[in-house]
Amino acid sequence: MSVEAGAQAPVIEIRGLRKTFRDFWFRPVAEAVNGIDLTVERGDVFGLLGPNGSGKSTTIKMVLGLLAPTAGSVKLFGLSPRARAARARLGYLPELSYLHPFLTARETVMYYAGLSNLDRKTAKARTAELLEQVGLAENANRPVGGFSKGMARRVAFASALVSHPELLILDEPTSGLDPIGTREVKELIGRLAADGLTILVTSHQLFDMQDVCSRVAILSHGKVVGSGRVADIVAAAADKRHALEDYFVARLGAGQEGAK
Amino acid sequence: MKDSFILAWRALVRGHVLALLLVATALAHAFLPKLIRSDGTAEGWREMFVRAVPGAAYAFIAVTILACACGFFAQERERFRLSLTVVRPVSAFGVACGKWLALCAVAATALAFSGLLTACRLADAPRCLHHYAPRLPSTAVCAREALAAYLADPQTPESVKQAPRSAVLSLLTNKELDRYDVVRPKTAIDWPFDAALAAKGQEVIVRVRFATQFERRAPFEGQLTFGPYSAPVKHSTQSVLDIPLAEGTTNAAPAGAATVDLHFANTSGETVMLRPRRDLEILTPADSFRGNLVRAGLQMFAAIALLAAFGLFLSASVSRPVALFTATVAVLVALMAPSVVAQFPDEMDTKFTERFGLAVSRLICGLTSTVGEASPLSDLATDTCIEWSALVRGLLVNVLALPAAFLAGCAVVVRRKPLANNT
């Protein structure tokens, strides 16, 4: 499918996705994802929520093309996740920052700009703009090996955004951040969403997700046990402040009953 | 590729790998010469110096680059950085090439530094020499002819006739390499050489080592003649002799001939013999020691470039400790394989397991032949000119073809396995 055709397709389309992990002898050891169907439309801030081991990270890795599905399909902009045209429109922030400690903040962002095929002049301007945006302009020439977790997270955020992605995948973006850092990340997600960026985000922080997500899906044992618009969930809830948390607990309980 | 190169270069420079190589090279050049014990001649000292000092630096650079290569992809994958690279719109082959080029650049810098120090130390080294072997039929042709003669001979036992053809040919090829030509007293013998060597107006040296039966030292004398050149020989057997030939007016090389015979008349009462493929060469002056040093450096660089590509392939495929172990074993096996093949030429007399080992050793020798055939330090130490043809062949295979294959393999593995474990 061409990129032009992909422009009309959903940003992420997951159909019947399964992933079975096997041991050395190809015997199945875990059914991490068990028949997921999801669609993320343009402009969505989609929260993929679930307890540990529910299959969130495995799903994200398949969306990124880092893992091959056992069955089913994943399409990014109507293309395979391994297609270069799809990868060119993608930004990814992993759960941990995984930065090269010997590079400075500026060099790190420039490196990912280069990998995203930005020309040097554009890359320099974009790097300066992003480092300013994440509040690291003054530390741009310090090696990231000496950065705090929060500063490293901000460098990783800038690296994910450097190529002007249409889809941003955030894996636990507030993991390990202090309350101020968490608020900054939430504000940044809000600004990006307002700019029309599509965001797929996983998190355990349901309270935070309620503030930033437009739609959510709850995963349990590799299956979607609940999904919907956050506005609808909040409208239907008695306790508006903890609406998503209550919905999560309720769907998880229902999912476990179903599994039994 | 450029970004991957810059990242890897910074990793090597800021990780102090380049500094380590430069310091180790400088220390080797500063202190190892004090340990050299030679035969007291300038040539002997120079030979020992080249083998010990640039040799030690070369070995250290090669091992360090291989160790770094074995860690590059493996560490990036174990620390989840590789997944951040492969989700970008980059070619995995380009990423692998960038890392390989950075390793090559560091190796080239360290080798150039070592070469510079060597050139300064050996500023007065003599010119190197072209070495020419007699133009004899190839050993394979001789072996086939000998086999045909055996098979046609009715006295050859049936068991020999039914032996595996490849094994007999391999045996006969080795025998041909060590075949002796015998020159009885008051007789003469001719060995053909390239006619161009007999052109007038150049320096011609014959390097020869005569032997006698039972390897005893015995005096002998004779006359060597090659086209317009000739010289008397008077020495004892078992010594390697360099005999400069003087230009005369007689025996000019016939025009249009492909070969001219080197004629040796044994005027002594001693029977002497030599192996024409091992004990006889004609030497002519080539270019300067520095020119040869540059070519030797390029040969060393080619070998390290191949090692770097091999290490990167291993590092893309397995974890760092496994890659290091595999690379070490592979290099040791590749170094030992020629000795195994040379020591056990007769595969008909060996057991199946030994035949299997021999076959593996031959395969490894074949695969590493372009690296194995080059002996830059030995050639440099003995003032043997490294020929451009061999150098270019080595560069094409070791810097282009084989690394391209390893890096393509590397790219496939990186795409298929970007995560440390698939969970």
B34 at A interface, C-beta within 8 A: no
> Which ipTM did the prediction report?
0.83
Is pLDDT of B161 > 60? yes
Please report which confidence band the pLDDT of residue B346 belongs to, taking 50, 70 and 90 as the band edges: low
Tokens 């590509």 correspond to B309
Q: Which of A106-120, B234-248, B350-364 has the highest mean pLDDT?
A: A106-120
Residue B244's Cβ-count burial label (10 Å; 0-12, 13-18, 19+) is exposed
B2 at A interface, C-beta within 8 A: yes
Q: Does the distance separating the beta carbons of A82 and B423 come in below 8 Å?
A: no
Tokens 């390697």 correspond to B240
**Position with higher pLDDT, B348 vs A45:** A45
Contacts of A67 in chain B (CB under 8 A): 419, 422
Contacts of A96 in chain B (CB under 8 A): 80
Q: Does the distance separating the beta carbons of A66 and B418 come in below 8 Å?
A: yes
Q: Residue A99: closest CA among chain B residues belongs to which residue?
A: B81
Closest in A94, A112, A114 to B80, CB measured: A94
Q: Does the distance separating the beta carbons of A112 and B84 come in below 8 Å?
A: yes
Contact B134, B191 (CB under 8 A): yes
Contacts of B89 in chain A (CB under 8 A): 84-85, 87-88, 115-117
Q: Can you tell me the distance from the alpha carbon of A258 to that of A255, in angstroms, rounded to the nearest whole number? A: 5
CA atoms within 13 A on the CB side of B201: 0
% of chain A beyond a pLDDT of 70: 93
Q: Does the distance separating the beta carbons of B79 and A65 come in below 8 Å?
A: no
* Closest alpha carbon to A87 in B418, B62, B134: B418
Contacts of B419 in chain A (CB under 8 A): 61, 66-67
B204's CB contacts (< 8 A; 6+ apart) are B197, B198, B226, B229, B244, B245, B282, B283, B284
Q: Does the distance separating the beta carbons of B14 and A112 come in below 8 Å?
A: no
User: HEC states along B138-176?
Assistant: CHHHHHHHHHHHHHHCCCCCHHHHCCCHHHHHHHHHHHH
Nearest-CA distance B402 → chain A (Å): 26
Neighbours of B262 (CB within 10 A): 25
Strand partners, A126: none
B185 at A interface, C-beta within 8 A: no
What tokens does B306 get?
């191949």
- Render pLDDT for B78-87 as a digit per residue (tens, 0 to 9): 888 888 888 8
Q: What is the mean pLDDT of chain B?
A: 86
- Render pLDDT for A196-215 as a digit per residue (tens, 0 to 9): 889 998 887 777 788 888 88
Closest in B15, B86, B89 to A102, CB measured: B15
User: In angstroms, what CA-CA distances link B242 with A201, B41, B183, B208, B234?
Assistant: 80, 16, 19, 7, 12
CATH T-level topology, domain B139-285? Jelly Rolls (2.60.120)
| Collapsed DSSP state (helix, strand, coil) of residue B77 | helix
Closest in A21, A64, A117 to B87, CB measured: A64
Contact B376, B280 (CB under 8 A): no
Disruptive mutation site among B1, B87, B91 for chain A (greatest number of A CBs within 10 Å): B87
Query: pTM, whole model, 2 decimals?
Result: 0.83
Contacts of A88 in chain B (CB under 8 A): 89
Q: Which of A181-185, B46-50, B56-60, B412-416 has the highest mean pLDDT?
A: B56-60
Q: Residue A103: closest CA among chain B residues belongs to which residue?
A: B10
| pLDDT value of position B253 | 59
| pLDDT value of position A107 | 92
Please report which confidence band the pLDDT of residue A3 belongs to, taking 50, 70 and 90 as the band edges: very low
| Collapsed DSSP state (helix, strand, coil) of residue B287 | coil
Domain with CATH 2.60.120 in chain B: 139-285
Which segments of B276-357 are extended strands (E)?
280-285
CA atoms within 13 A on the CB side of B231: 16
Contacts of B422 in chain A (CB under 8 A): 21, 67
Tokens 């759960």 correspond to A95
Residue A5's Cβ-count burial label (10 Å; 0-12, 13-18, 19+) is exposed
Please report which confidence band the pLDDT of residue B175 belongs to, taking 50, 70 and 90 as the band edges: confident
A86's CB contacts (< 8 A; 6+ apart) are A6, A65, A76, A77, A79, A80
Helices B289-317 + B320-343 axis angle, to 10 = 130
Tokens 């068991």 correspond to B159
| pLDDT value of position A7 | 53
B16 at A interface, C-beta within 8 A: no
Q: Can you tell me the distance from the alpha carbon of B90 to that of A98, in angstroms, rounded to the nearest whole number? A: 19
Contact A81, A63 (CB under 8 A): yes
Which segments of B2-113 are extended strands (E)?
none
